[in-house]
Amino acid sequence: MKVKIMTLGCKVNQYESEAMKELFIQKNYEITEDDYADFYIVNTCTVTQMSDRKSRSFIRKSKKTNPNSVVAVVGCYPQVSKDKVTEIEEADVILGTQDRKQIVEIMEESYKSKKRIISVKEYSKDSEFENLSLRDNEGRTRAYIKIQEGCNMFCTYCIIPYARGPVRSRDFDSIIKEAIDLRNNGYKEVVLTGIHASSYGIDKKEKYRLIDIIEEVGKIEGIERIRLSSLEPRIITEEFLNRLIKVDKFCESFHLSLQSGSSEILKKMNRKYDYDLYKEKIELIRKYYENPGITTDIIVGFPGESEENFLESKKAIEEIEFTKVHLFKYSRRRGTPAAEFENQIDPKIKNERLKVLEEVSKKAQNKIYSKQIGRLEEVLVEKFEDGKNYGYSKNYSHVKIISNENLEGKIVSVIIEDTINDTLITSKII
Ligand code: SF4
């Protein structure tokens, strides 16, 4: 029997899809990339209206390809919009962001009984971390480890706390065990990821925090690099960085979501910092690390964003010189406070603002990339193609190494010679 899994959205979703794949493989199912399958799983995202639309289209397309298949819809979309998803006739199995550990059994049951199964559970403060562990990731060099689930921050624009429930941290020992399993399967780099990784441990009696995981994974022989997914700016303190800098394997790339350069808008977003505090945190990182990669997310067109507020975001990009800015247009999500805010911004203005920020971030990025010319960088090569090796430096810059030797899976020291767009280029291997 063939299973096809389609994944939308974030790294956590990708991780969970990989974990579901493993569950099917253990039961001798074949995972396929082809259009035709017996079981389809659409692992949805609901962060924007566009993601909902994409999920609906995947669901319908799957059933059309094989009318006798079982189509399962799982993840954030059914969790927050169960009724809407239930209206889609083609969906045979509907699960939220829980119970995915039983996905194989549930789909088999629906297949045998030809009946629809709907199981979307409400979250409560007693909800537990669903341990969907992974021993193998899709790529050959970098593996993700999910360390927590859920978020208690309730930013006014964000649907995630409703889709993923409250913070639930995975057991410390289970995280370390997964890191060892991944190392045993040949992975050199791990990325500690979660919905709000900075909150790791706040729901547990044991005193382990994110930094304790980083230190412990850092001791595992064979794991050579550790990365982090998005961080909450307030986690960056002298104490945190003092411990982090001692973990040689930590790769100095930090993703700190700013969302807006305007403190007024940040307050309306219910972010727990203002722009000055954010800037201080970046300065602190740069005090500890000489050449860190600093990436961020910015939303344009949040309700009430004036021209002046928008220009503050533009200024922030120029001032901070991010390695990369992920730009988003504000998307009104029913059920979130901001969806009801007055002064929703005209889509035309959102588009114009987005364009301006795209230009500004590109310039900032080019500036920061050209500063890396002449630097010695260690690159973990992920792909070899036509005499070129591609990988990432410790600060997560994309690097192209021109060499006929296949260096895939190796960590190579190079001197950066040039930069084109968002790639560093070199043929100088040390
Ligand atoms: S911190 Fe804010 S934006 Fe991030 S997941 Fe939580 S509520 Fe959403």
pLDDT in tens, 198-224: 999 999 988 899 999 999 999 999 999
- Ligand 1 contacts CB of residue 272 (under 6 A): no
Check: CB of residue 321 under 8 Å from CB of residue 368. Answer: yes
Position 131 scores a pLDDT of: 74
Atom 2, ligand 1: residue with shortest CA distance: 155
- Ligand 1 contacts CB of residue 368 (under 6 A): no
The SS3 call for residue 385 is strand
Which residue carries 């096809």 as its tokens? 4
- Ligand 1 contacts CB of residue 255 (under 6 A): no
- Ligand 1 contacts CB of residue 161 (under 6 A): yes
Same domain assignment for residues 234 and 292: no
- Ligand 1 contacts CB of residue 164 (under 6 A): no
CA of 315 to the centre of ligand 1 (A): 23
Integer distance in angstroms from the first to the last C-alpha of the chain?
49
Atom 1, ligand 1: residue with shortest CA distance: 153
Same domain assignment for residues 282 and 381: no
Same domain assignment for residues 292 and 227: no
- Ligand 1 contacts CB of residue 195 (under 6 A): yes
Nearest atom in ligand 1 to 154's CA: 7
Same domain assignment for residues 355 and 412: no
Same domain assignment for residues 199 and 247: yes
Phi, psi dihedrals of residue 5, rounded to the nearest 5°: -115, 125
Instruction: From 158, 164, 265, 331, give the residue whose CB has the most ligand 1 atoms within 8 Å, as the site to mutate.
Output: 158
How many domains is the chain partitioned into structurally? 4
Q: Which two tokens stand for residue 96?
A: 């939220």
Position 70 scores a pLDDT of: 97
**430 residues of the chain, pLDDT tens digit each:** 999 999 998 888 998 999 999 999 999 999 999 999 999 999 999 988 889 999 999 999 999 999 999 999 999 999 999 999 999 999 999 999 988 889 999 999 999 999 999 999 887 666 777 777 666 655 567 889 999 999 999 999 999 999 999 999 999 999 999 999 999 988 999 999 999 999 999 999 888 999 999 999 999 999 999 999 999 999 999 999 999 999 999 999 999 999 999 999 999 999 999 999 999 999 999 999 999 999 999 999 999 999 999 999 999 999 999 999 999 999 999 899 999 999 999 999 999 999 999 999 999 988 899 999 999 999 999 999 998 999 999 999 999 999 999 999 899 999 999 999 889 999 999 8
Q: How many CB atoms lie within 10 A of CB 344?
A: 17
CATH number reported for the structural domain that contains residue 207 in this entry: 3.30.750.210
Check: CB of residue 398 under 8 Å from CB of residue 407. Answer: no
Instruction: From 80, 196, 273, give the residue whose CB has the most ligand 1 atoms within 8 Å, as the site to mutate.
Output: 196
Using the 3D structure, point to which of 371, 394, 419 is the last residue of a domain: 371
Atom 8, ligand 1: residue with shortest CA distance: 158
How far, in Å, CA of 140 to CA of 119, rounded? 34
Q: Which two tokens stand for residue 290?
A: 């000489």
Within 13 Å and on the Cβ side, how many CA atoms surround 302?
28
- Ligand 1 contacts CB of residue 317 (under 6 A): no
Same domain assignment for residues 233 and 270: no
CA of 151 to the centre of ligand 1 (A): 6
Position 123 scores a pLDDT of: 77
Closest CA relative to residue 366, chosen from 419, 290, 426, 292: 419
83 contact partners, CB below 8 Å, separation of at least 6:
none
Nearest 5°: the CA angle 276, 364, 144 is 80
Same domain assignment for residues 104 and 129: no
Using the 3D structure, point to which of 371, 400, 421 is the last residue of a domain: 371
Within 13 Å and on the Cβ side, how many CA atoms surround 342?
0
Cα separations (Å) of 286 from 117, 240, 261, 308, 343?
52, 14, 19, 28, 37
CA of 257 to the centre of ligand 1 (A): 10
- Ligand 1 contacts CB of residue 155 (under 6 A): yes
Same domain assignment for residues 201 and 293: no
Same domain assignment for residues 259 and 241: no
Position 140 scores a pLDDT of: 66
- Ligand 1 contacts CB of residue 151 (under 6 A): yes
The SS3 call for residue 53 is helix
Nearest atom in ligand 1 to 259's CA: 3
Using the 3D structure, point to which of 224, 251, 278 is the last residue of a domain: 251
Amino acid making up residue 127: S
Give the range of the structural domain holding residue 319, as residue numbers without chain letter: 255-371
Same domain assignment for residues 266 and 218: no
Same domain assignment for residues 146 and 245: yes
CA of 168 to the centre of ligand 1 (A): 14
CATH number reported for the structural domain that contains residue 355 in this entry: 3.30.750.200
Same domain assignment for residues 128 and 247: yes
Check: CB of residue 25 under 8 Å from CB of residue 1. Answer: no
